Amino acid sequence: DVKKETMGFQTEAKQLLHLMIHSLYSNREIFLRELISNASDAIDKLRFAALSNEALLEGQGDYQVQVDVDKDARTITIADNGIGMNRDEVVEHLGTIAKSGTAAFMESLTGDQQKDSQLIGQFGVGFYSAFIVADRVEVHTRKAGEDADQGVVWESHGESEFSVEPRDKATRGTSIMLFLKDDCEEFADDFRVRSVIKKYSDHISVPVMMLKPAAPVAEDAEEQTEQPPEYEAVNEATALWTRSRTEISDDEYNEFYKHVSHDFDEPLTWSHNKVEGKFDYTSLLYIPKRAPFDMWNRDMARGLKLYVQRTFIMDDAEQFLPLYLRFVKGVVDSNDLPLNVSREILQQDAAVESMRSALTKRVLDMLSKLAKKGGDDYAGFWKEFGQVLKEGPAEDFANKEKIAGLLRFSSTHTDAPEQDQSLEDYVQRMQEDQEKIFYVVAENFNTAKNSPHLEVFRKKGIEVLLLCDRVDDWLMNHLQEFDGKAFQDVARGALDLAADTEEEKAEQEKLQKESEALVERMTKVLEGKVAEVRATARLTDSPACLVVGEFDMGAQMRRIMEAAGQ
Ligand code: ADP
Ligand code: MG
């Protein structure tokens, strides 16, 4: 009994679709990259599943993606023999946008096409990009290992609803047929499609096959027998990271990044390395240009794509990098791990531990290099990911100094909110007898900049770092020194400026004597509210300020704890 069911897209899916169609129209050929990328992912998944269950292959282990065009019918079909989907999976993956944070993403849209197309790229367009060029899409799929009658057809005009119905499918995998819009018939043209595949999918490790151009008909046509159509690979079809660095162009690196990251934009930089020694592995690590919309979401997908001897094992292998480098994308291909490695094994494997520390160093080195290069790249990186990197010193004791060197601050040197001063710069500008790196923490930049604690520093011309990010208290709790110089919160404890002269010390003593009566009175009035009242020469303009004890919680930490009801 044939049962066709019609369902509505989720509201967000509808909006996203609409937006995508309009904002990506000028770059519409990318639909092919997205669909081939999905086909390749599906094949990777089957290859992995077949390691433990060979029956899934149904006796056919040659993996491939096949692209067919039909100029007259104005269609293009992308078919793979990967893992396929059952009915529930089709509905879930192609009918909803399961990604958490979609609603928040939609709210962040501006209505300005230029800006929104940047945003949508960051969200990842994926399967829905088919509707940029097609007014009808038909997906025929059947899960590997199941019977032919478990096949399903999903169909939609991309407006507000889609339908699913059972239909037999003899071969496993997914076939996606696009009925092209009037002005998109170029994608039913063999030559055009080949060039798009070359451009975007050369690095895909499975062959993307297209029909061989027909040979010219021979003179003596009687000799001709009916030949079955012959297909040929259009792409290079070797996993990019296995090739040598010198043979790979920047364009290829860029396209591969888009495939592994699901990002639309190009990466900021990358590092590709083959390591031989105690452990053999290849890594290709990328720093994105922009933070993903869900970077602060605990469930955000993070980690590298893990391969073992060129066989895909899993996405989002988190164990190869620390949390504060969660924005890094890429691939690690190990020769030492077993093919049946699981997440649990990864968590306690010595080889993984050693790779993790090597990969961490690699990322930090890549960032130092980017910082040294000058220009806007590092500033751009810092703007997007600085907040995350600030988690580093607390998480990664071994690389504390290296991370500290990558941090950027605003300071009284510029008095501007841009965080663009390195600790190295600060140390270079330190006064001759200055021993400490001074900083102030406040809830926002202006409060930090106008803090009464800074008055004496400004008077003496001593630079102070101005911290106002949420993580800053946490950061400074874990950052004791840089280049042998201790950090000192100017709002904490007694300040002993090295620059204090004998004269100033005498003045301070005099001041203390003179103020004894006042201090005594204030101590009484404020009893139970403050620990101590002290006369100070620190202030030049303000009559009084609050100081935190040397070992007390920072003012910001206190606010966070209060907010949490502690
Ligand atoms: P993404 O690739 O980022 O997950 P897509 O929108 O491209 O997002 O695809 C959504 C989901 O649909 C995929 O994660 C996958 O589960 C499923 N899917 C898409 N294409 C295929 C395919 N050819 N074979 C099997 N599953 C697919
Ligand atoms: Mg995809």
User: How far is the C-alpha of 184 from the C-alpha of 312, rounded, in Å?
Assistant: 34
Top-ranked range on mean pLDDT: pick from 185-194, 201-210, 303-312, 335-344: 185-194
pLDDT at 301: 83
Distance 341 CA to ligand 1 centre (A): 24
pLDDT score of 271 more than 50: yes
Ligand nearest to the CA of 129: 1
What one-character-per-residue DSSP string does 431-463 give? -TT--SEEEEE-SSHHHHHT-GGGHHHHHHT--
| 451, 546 Cβ separation under 8 angstroms | no
Q: Which residue has 């197309």 as its token pair? A: 117
pLDDT at 113: 67
Mean residue pLDDT of the chain comes to 87
- On whether 434 is known to bind a ligand per the annotation, the reply is no
pLDDT at 124: 64
pLDDT in tens, 10-25: 777 777 777 777 777 7
pLDDT at 450: 93
Ligand 1 atom nearest residue 83's Cα: 25
What is the average per-residue pLDDT within 133-152? 97
Question: Longest Cα pair distance anywhere in the chain, in angstroms?
Answer: 121
Confidence of residue 438 (pLDDT cuts 50, 70, 90): very high
pLDDT at 479: 93
What is the average per-residue pLDDT within 114-130? 73
3-state helix vs strand vs coil in the chain, percent to 5? 45, 20, 40
Residue, of 122 and 468, whose pLDDT is higher? 468
pLDDT at 142: 98
- On whether 99 is known to bind a ligand per the annotation, the reply is yes
Question: The tokens of 185 are what?
Answer: 């018939």
The one-character DSSP state at 409 is: B
Top-ranked range on mean pLDDT: pick from 170-184, 452-466, 521-535, 544-558: 170-184
Find all residues with CB under 8 Å of 93, minimum gap 6, and list them: 85, 127
Nearest CA to ligand 1 atom 8: 126
pLDDT at 294: 78
Distance 90 CA to ligand 1 centre (A): 9
pLDDT at 562: 66
Nearest CA to ligand 1 atom 10: 93
pLDDT at 420: 95
pLDDT at 397: 93
Confidence of residue 98 (pLDDT cuts 50, 70, 90): very low
Distance 59 CA to ligand 2 centre (A): 27
Choice from 10, 34, 36, 38 to test ligand 1 binding pocket (greatest atom count within 8 A of CB): 38
Distance 127 CA to ligand 1 centre (A): 6
Distance 518 CA to ligand 1 centre (A): 73
Task: Report percent pLDDT > 70 for the chain.
Answer: 87
pLDDT at 222: 62
pLDDT in tens, 457-505: 998 899 999 999 999 999 999 999 999 999 999 987 666 564 566 777 7
Ligand nearest to the CA of 292: 1
Find all residues with CB under 8 Å of 144, minimum gap 6, and list them: 46, 49, 50, 56, 57, 58, 82, 83, 84, 172, 173
Exposed (0-12), middle (13-18) or buried (19+): which is 88, by Cβ within 10 Å?
exposed
Ligand 1 atom nearest residue 173's Cα: 24
pLDDT at 120: 67
| 312, 305 Cβ separation under 8 angstroms | yes
pLDDT score of 528 more than 50: yes
- Rg (C-alpha) for the chain, rounded Å, is 31
549 φ, ψ to 5°? -60, 155
pLDDT at 140: 98
What is the CB-side half-sphere exposure of residue 556 using CA atoms within 13 A?
21
- On whether 95 is known to bind a ligand per the annotation, the reply is no
Confidence of residue 2 (pLDDT cuts 50, 70, 90): low
pLDDT in tens, 341-373: 888 888 888 999 999 999 999 999 999 999 999
pLDDT score of 104 more than 50: yes
Choice from 41, 97, 105 to test ligand 1 binding pocket (greatest atom count within 8 A of CB): 41
Exposed (0-12), middle (13-18) or buried (19+): which is 561, by Cβ within 10 Å?
exposed
pLDDT score of 196 more than 90: yes
What is the average per-residue pLDDT within 276-296? 91
Q: Which residues have CB under 6 Å of ligand 1?
A: 34, 38-39, 42, 80, 82-85, 93-94, 124, 126-127, 174, 262
pLDDT at 339: 84
Residues measured by CB to lie within 5 Å of ligand 2, the ion:
38, 126
pLDDT in tens, 144-186: 999 999 999 999 998 788 999 999 999 999 999 999 999 999 9
The region of weakest confidence among 139-148, 184-193, 541-550 is 541-550
Distances (CA, A) of 242 to 15, 225, 312, 424, 518: 40, 42, 13, 38, 76
State pTM to two decimals. 0.79
Strands ordered across the beta sheet of 311-317: 269-275, 281-287, 329-334, 304-308, 311-317
Distance 338 CA to ligand 1 centre (A): 27
Question: The tokens of 8 are what?
Answer: 């509505």
Confidence of residue 543 (pLDDT cuts 50, 70, 90): confident
Distance 298 CA to ligand 1 centre (A): 22
pLDDT score of 300 more than 70: yes
Ligand nearest to the CA of 139: 1
Q: What is the residue type of 546?
A: L
